[in-house]
Structure 1
């Protein structure tokens, strides 16, 4: 499944969302918390060299460093301003005998800014983690193979992504949205890359809004409007959208669906 995604637009939208993402991305934060619990359950506490893909505002990063021991942390995202979310980053588990210089009393983080599909991955990694980011990949199977090659034997890949019913209401009404893998196809792609599946789980989460306008405001504030086709609203199409969205109303409000899939996989050899 190959998806045409404008990475420059994705970077622009997420950069623009900036601080509003922190406030509005409530589901993404919940997903990071859940992924962190699975990482604690299935991965060893000591993971000396770790790469996080799509670190964003640091929801997963800040949880990760409260539990896991690591010497080296590579943080990736599309745009440089993402480092604003890590100004107070301190890790109680970052071992003091590393060669990293300390800046303003905090350990130096190795930043990998840019499209992870185009960047050279660090080698000899003990783990690669990612929360709510891999759905933006143009060729996920190719990246999975590169991650496999970058991991040490028995190294871990722990991530959350989204399934086919993610933001299904928006896709039904506008035709806009990403093409998502099912958990079955995702499992197949991982195994084809050489991974063994330690754990895979999916769920559906619903947010409810008082007005369809607030649904669009939420999507814009979380940066997830950056699909491959830039959808241009007109006054008429907006009114039609608000009218059509009535079908997704129940006693709790206007529904918006998220469909996270959680995966813990391990390099077999």
Structure 2
């Protein structure tokens, strides 16, 4: 059974498209920090840039401004997000918009110089397989930059709802070691990982839930309860959260993992079931033919 309900994700982020930018202060900060890592290109100018989980297109526009001659592609699962992104795609600096799933990229092999993805990969079911897809479209020597949430994210909310309901209300998030292992398994070269922790505060639980809804981060677990949470359960969760109140506000932890890696040389092996699997193009395999 998949971890996430893809239809629910599309709907939630589509519904959040008009409110996203006003509510996504943390997401903007993480995106800005990830954009600073573009300096690792050492002055190289990419020809094709892919922004996966582009949302309203803020990073896509920033990269198009940085490299006006590059082809920048903003890819997102939610079409309404891409309609918001169109507002940032000025006629003198346009970028392309593609509605697609990060786990099934509709791009040719070795066609992208830079993959940028900020706070998208926490929504994929199979991180190693998704990163293998990233490797497929990234050119040898191309740069992969992404951020994702770590397991401490929304820990207070997770525990509060666990005290009120047996059904999970908060998504699972990969540990930094799992992210590193997934990069190595996919065959990326020289991975570097870092992490930040942010603490946001809210006057009460409804305020936190309103913000999550405004950015599309609602409960998208495939095994979620399909009925409304209910006033009684919500009240029990709020009561369980209340002892954490400090200086008149409730804290909410957000752990962010940053990753950087490089596309390997052609034919470099990837890890699969503990073994190295090498990919060799058919044209490179000599064929002996018997004389007719």
TM-score range, shorter chain: 0.7 to 0.9
Aligned positions of 1:52-71 closer than 5 A = 52-68=51-67, 70-71=69-70
Corresponding residue to 2:233 among 237, 241, 256: 237
Q: CA RMSD in A?
A: 2.0
1:265 aligns with 2:274: no
> 2:85 aligns to what?
86
Which one has the largest radius of gyration? 2
Q: 1:122 to 1:74 in 2, by over 3 A?
A: farther
> 1:110 aligns to what?
96
8 Å contact kept, 2:74–2:96: yes
CA–CA distance in structure 1, aligned partners of residues 12 and 92 of structure 2: 29
CA–CA distance in structure 1, aligned partners of residues 178 and 260 of structure 2: 15
8 Å contact kept, 1:187–1:197: no
> 1:8 aligns to what?
7
Query: 1:244 is paired with a residue of what secondary structure?
Result: helix
CA–CA distance in structure 2, aligned partners of residues 130 and 20 of structure 1: 20
8 Å contact kept, 2:188–2:264: yes
Q: Deviations over 1:40-76 (max 9, x none)?
A: 2456441111111110022322332332355312221
1:24 aligns with 2:23: yes
Q: 1:43 to 1:6 in 2, by over 3 A?
A: farther
> 1:73 aligns to what?
72
Corresponding residue to 1:219 among 212, 229, 247: 212
Q: CA deviation at 1:176?
A: 2.0
8 Å contact kept, 2:52–2:76: yes
Q: CA deviation at 1:118?
A: 3.1
1:255 aligns with 2:245: no
Q: 1:63 to 1:199 in 2, by over 3 A?
A: farther
Give the gaps of 5 or more residues in structure 1.
92-104
Higher relative contact order (CA 8 A, sep 6+): 1
CA–CA distance in structure 2, aligned partners of residues 112 and 88 of structure 1: 15
8 Å contact kept, 1:208–1:252: no
> 2:137 aligns to what?
150
Aligned positions of 1:141-220 closer than 5 A = 141-174=128-161, 175-220=168-213
8 Å contact kept, 2:9–2:220: yes
User: Which stretches of structure 1, 4 residues or longer, exceed 6 Å deviation after superposition?
Assistant: none
Q: CA deviation at 1:122?
A: 3.4
CA–CA distance in structure 2, aligned partners of residues 225 and 110 of structure 1: 28
